[in-house]
Amino acid sequence: MYKILKAEKLAENIFEWEVEAPRVASNCEPGQFVIVRAFEDSERIPLTICDYDREKGSITIVVQVIGEGTYKMTSLKAGDAFHDFVGPLGKASEFVEEDVESLKNKKFLFVAGGLGTAPVYPQVKWMHEHGIDVDVIVGAKTKDLVIMEEEMKAVAGNLYITTDDGSYGRSGMVTKVVEDLYAEGKTYDICVTIGPMIMMKFVCLLTKKLGLHTIVSMNPIMVDGTGMCGACRLQVGDEIKFACVDGPEFDGHLVDFDQAMKRQQMYKTKEGRAYLAAKEGDTHHGGCGQCGGDK
């Protein structure tokens, strides 16, 4: 059992938990995820790590309620516990392995949409801790859905908030802010964008025109988290990849977003899953991932 140290509602249907999981906290890096089960009979849910405290031995996760499993999780309060909390899984963000001094010579832009703010935060925090200032764009549909603003302010070099309806910060989509920054004379070497699939698609279409190398996180399409279900199968250039065991981060300009979004819709039905399994054959799933963490 994994004790909940803090539980908080961040926005409508968006909740945050800080969980005592010292072995996960001691080994995780930005970009990785965990698989949680709220109760013994609950479904297994892969969730990107939002923050970690190695000294405290805790992991923070942020969840949006989209189904029965995530809805049941909202009943867990501080003092309660998750039944399972397994990780870290997936590959860490590529910059973690790079030379810090060389990173300081690159200009980074992080673009977060909605719940994508949560997995972007540990990456920006890592940059800040290593003396690297980065620009961050956080987008949301409306002011009430902007999350983690103060936390992001504390670690970002420049933070730009934008809302689709113009109720807070700048007005418009995150892509408009990227265009505005370039119009103001800013340029970047690397863009990292995490958020809804459609947002990442249009960010990548724009950054490809700008010649800006872009990394995306395909965590939105993960279901099983171990490579066995086939849900997160995607086309990356000429290769078939699986978000949970090969990612979750990939070169955004190589990802076939249209195919991934179509598969995501088909996978929601029993008939769709059966069709994909029959059509894709041996390439339908990616084999077992590397289990570990607190288990």
pLDDT in tens, 179-211: 999 999 999 999 999 999 999 999 999 999 999
Residues in the chain: 295
Assess contact for 83 and 52: CB atoms under 8 A.
no
pLDDT at residue 189 in the model:
95
Beta strand residue intervals within the chain, DSSP E: 2-11, 14-20, 33-37, 45-53, 58-64, 81-82, 84-89, 108-113, 135-140, 158-163, 170-171, 190-194, 213-217, 233-236, 239-242, 249-251
pLDDT at residue 278 in the model:
65
- Cα separation, 213 vs 116, in Å, equals 19
pLDDT at residue 220 in the model:
76
Share of the chain above pLDDT 90, in %: 56
pLDDT at residue 293 in the model:
39
CATH 3.40.50.80 fits 94-217, yes or no: yes
pLDDT in tens, 249-284: 999 999 988 888 887 676 556 666 664 666 656 676
- Cα separation, 146 vs 108, in Å, equals 22
More confident residue, 219 or 145: 145
Same topology, domains 2-89 and 94-217? Answer is no
Going from the C-alpha of 124 to that of each of 80, 136, 152, 175, 224, the distances in angstroms are 30, 8, 8, 19, 27
CB-based contacts of 259, cutoff 8 Å, min separation 6: 234, 235
Pairing outcome for strands 108-113 and 190-194: parallel
Residue 137 clears pLDDT 90, i.e. is over it = yes
Residue 295 clears pLDDT 50, i.e. is over it = no
Residue 291 clears pLDDT 50, i.e. is over it = no
Tokens 């399994």 locate to: 277
Identify the CATH number of the domain defined by range 2-89.
2.40.30.10
**Domain residue ranges in the chain:** 2-89, 94-217
